[in-house]
């Protein structure tokens, strides 16, 4: 009985040792597979004796004899210079781009034989550069004078600002809104750019600036919309845009709300963007109230329903839908042609 127990103990120890060796072998095999077939295989340099060298010259004894053939002379057309190009490098820019002239001295004029040289002209080399920050602090330094007889102090008045009591210049207000709306640069990135440029302003201050700047532009938008409603032809479309957060009670409370822009395009290249939370008929009615003419749309169902209600109220609106490459000459006799339209429907050839 004791012999069987000892034998069983010995076999169990050998089995455990064998399992350890098998596990170590599996780990080594996995390592070799990663070296041959994994990401690290690209870093391994394999010296293949049968493969030729790409960047070394062949030995003279192994090179083949060189043969030559005559080639006819030819001429090459020079690159034509555009009218707006400044120089042969092709750099094009308008007069609105600021330029900084850097004068480079000629070493010969500072040497021992400088009297042997004279300046007969200059050559310009243009390079496009970028500055670290585009912000500048305007300091209006006003003189304070004192009248000698009455000892009265007088100073020049400070220049007026678009926002009373605001540190922002009108150029900053315009830049914030243009960068946000035209170049899709949100205010948080503009705020970070200001901090990197050394200007310390809170993000809430930027939001306040943009909000007040929008209110300054509201009368212009109202005037444009009134002018467009007096035209004979308008194009209208709806474009989805994410804005705001959904309700917390819903399951998708962390997602953005689906809202809509309603661009209205007039014959004088005027575009007015209105906004609504949905694509209901009432928003179309509110925007077209007072319009009499031809309305071009993509055929969405809210437009016929809105036109029907406006017609019952006394307005005269003709609804027209169109497709790509559809002839709209009958609708626009003063500018004939064929419309090449893409969604959203905004194109000059409509009018």
Of 168, 107, 175, 160, the C-alpha closest to 137 is 168
Burial of 320 (0-12, 13-18, 19+ CB in 10 A): middle
Of 328, 279, 263, the C-alpha closest to 318 is 328
Per the rule left: phi > 0, alpha: psi between -120 and 50, beta: everything else, 337 is left
In this prediction, what percent of the chain has a pLDDT beyond 90?
Answer: 29
The answer as to whether 123 is a domain residue is no
The token pair at 38 is 């994994």
Distance of CA 130 to the CA centre of its chain: 17
* 21 against 252, higher pLDDT: 21
Residue for token pair 């008929």: 281
Find the domain containing 177 and state its range: 164-223
Same domain assignment for residues 234 and 323: yes
Of 325, 307, 304, the C-alpha closest to 315 is 307
- pLDDT, residue 138, reads 87
Total domain count, the chain = 2
pTM score above 0.85: no
* 83 against 347, higher pLDDT: 83
Eight-class DSSP state of 37: H
Same domain assignment for residues 276 and 198: no
Band (pLDDT 50/70/90 cuts) for residue 330 is very low
Question: In CATH, what number is assigned to the domain containing residue 250?
Answer: 3.30.420
The answer as to whether 132 is a domain residue is no
């Amino acid at each position: 009985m004791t012999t069987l127990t000892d034998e069983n103990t010995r076999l169990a120890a050998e089995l455990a040792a064998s399992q350890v060796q098998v596990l170590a072998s599996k780990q080594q095999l996995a390592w070799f597979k990663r070296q041959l077939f994994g990401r690290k295989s690209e870093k391994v340099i394999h010296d293949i004796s049968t493969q030729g060298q790409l960047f070394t010259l062949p030995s003279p004894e192994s090179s083949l004899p060189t043969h030559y053939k005559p080639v006819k002379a030819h001429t090459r057309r020079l690159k034509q210079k555009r009218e707006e190009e400044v120089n042969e490098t092709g750099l094009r820019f308008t007069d609105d781009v600021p330029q900084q002239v850097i004068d480079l001295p000629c070493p010969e004029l500072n040497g021992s034989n400088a009297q042997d040289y004279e300046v007969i002209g200059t050559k310009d080399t243009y390079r496009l550069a970028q500055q670290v920050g585009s912000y500048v602090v305007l300091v209006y330094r006003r003189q304070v004078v004192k009248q000698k007889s009455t000892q009265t102090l007088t100073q020049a008045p400070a220049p007026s600002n678009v926002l009373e009591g605001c540190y922002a210049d009108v150029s900053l207000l315009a830049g914030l809104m243009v960068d946000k709306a035209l170049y899709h640069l949100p205010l948080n990135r503009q705020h970070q750019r200001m901090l990197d440029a050394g200007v310390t302003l809170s993000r809430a201050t930027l939001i306040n600036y943009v909000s007040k700047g929008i209110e300054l532009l509201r009368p212009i938008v109202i005037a444009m919309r009134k002018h467009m409603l007096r035209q004979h032809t308008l194009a209208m479309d709806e474009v989805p845009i994410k804005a705001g957060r959904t309700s917390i009670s819903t399951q998708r409370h962390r997602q953005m709300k689906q809202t809509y822009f309603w661009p209205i395009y007039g014959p004088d290249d005027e575009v007015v963007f209105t906004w609504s939370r949905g694509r209901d008929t009432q928003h179309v009615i509110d925007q077209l109230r007072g319009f009499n003419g031809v309305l071009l749309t993509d055929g969405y169902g809210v437009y016929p329903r809105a036109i029907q209600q406006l017609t019952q109220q006394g307005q005269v609106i003709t609804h027209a839908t169109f497709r790509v490459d559809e002839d709209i000459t009958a609708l626009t006799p003063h500018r004939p042609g064929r419309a090449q339209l893409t969604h959203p429907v905004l194109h000059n050839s409509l009018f």
